[in-house]
Structure 1
């Protein structure tokens, strides 16, 4: 009976890999995963296991500046974070790492934090965010605004004649009071 239960348990079966195995090498406090070089910032309770990391690392994680890995029930969970200056959700930024460790990781459980050293990611900043901060930009914006206002004054205004309505009668019911209007005929 226990053999049948163990065969049906999804967690005891070997999970298929959805990506190729990563090339992971450790050199002091630096860790190279594929072509990415990381510095180990925190390695609580020797959480870094190269064999498990080789299997769990997905190339999708290459885009992040920080990697956090926590071990729970002999399973490694990896999560990526960006630098604080990147325009992304606040829970994906570097300042959210401490909150993530407090809320989602087992208290006292082993975890590690890696910081990407190379290649350095270059992010586009939103040029509209700082637009208008210089005197020249403010003046050009004011001129455009003034030009648009003067242009609007030269356009002819179109007026539509309002339909005339006349008051017919006022009826008061038990719960309602309303007015019936009838249009005046143009005869």
Structure 2
């Protein structure tokens, strides 16, 4: 794949994303992004650009209390941070680590901005099923079969069948009339 084709794909993706998020400036520090209110807390070296924020914004960022946008190589990078009152708060992504992020992960002296999300959307918790590291991803339901005790099954025989790499199962078939049991 050549660079021109890759650039075409990038341009197509940007055109698709252009209509997803709409930026609307309310005053110098407040704006709406798809109807959700945000406040511009810090704008270092005029790093804030509402149109570029709308292009790069993703719905997953709406769960964060603070969003930091930094510029490097003419690209905007966004990262979210939690307020200590947020139920999703953890120390590594707390708002107290914003300064560390700017010093360690961003380009030295780059333009950046910090935005406060005034209407945080906390995602609903999904119930995760317990899964085992071994075994198939599909679990079969086991039905209790009404059959006589194995020693009394003269008209049936069991056959071992491989079900996977390290698994096996048994299948019980009805014997044909007149076939004797082999040992």
Instruction: Mark yes or no: TM-score above 0.5.
Output: yes
Q: Structure 1's 40 and 5: CA in aligned 2 closer, same or farther, altered over 3 A?
A: same
Q: Aligned residue for 1:106?
A: 107
Q: 2: distance between equivalents of 1:47 and 1:11?
A: 27
Residue 13 of structure 2 corresponds to residue 16 of structure 1: yes
Q: 1: distance between equivalents of 2:36 and 2:105?
A: 26
Q: Tell me how far 1:97 sits from its aligned partner.
A: 0.8
Max radius of gyration: which structure?
1
- Provide the aligned length of Structure 1 versus Structure 2: 119
5+ long unaligned stretches in structure 2 = 124-183
Q: Tell me how far 1:96 sits from its aligned partner.
A: 1.1
User: Is the Cα contact below 8 Å between 1:56 and 1:76 reproduced in 2?
Assistant: yes
Q: 1: distance between equivalents of 2:29 and 2:82?
A: 21
Q: 1: distance between equivalents of 2:104 and 2:22?
A: 30
* Root-mean-square deviation (Å): 2.9
Residue 117 of structure 2 corresponds to residue 116 of structure 1: yes
5+ long unaligned stretches in structure 1 = 124-187
Q: 2: distance between equivalents of 1:104 and 1:57?
A: 19
Q: Structure 1's 121 and 52: CA in aligned 2 closer, same or farther, altered over 3 A?
A: closer
Q: 2: distance between equivalents of 1:11 and 1:105?
A: 28
1:124-143 CA-to-partner distances (Å, cap 9, x unmatched) read: xxxxxxxxxxxxxxxxxxxx
1:13-57 CA-to-partner distances (Å, cap 9, x unmatched) read: 526147553111222111211122111111011111222112111
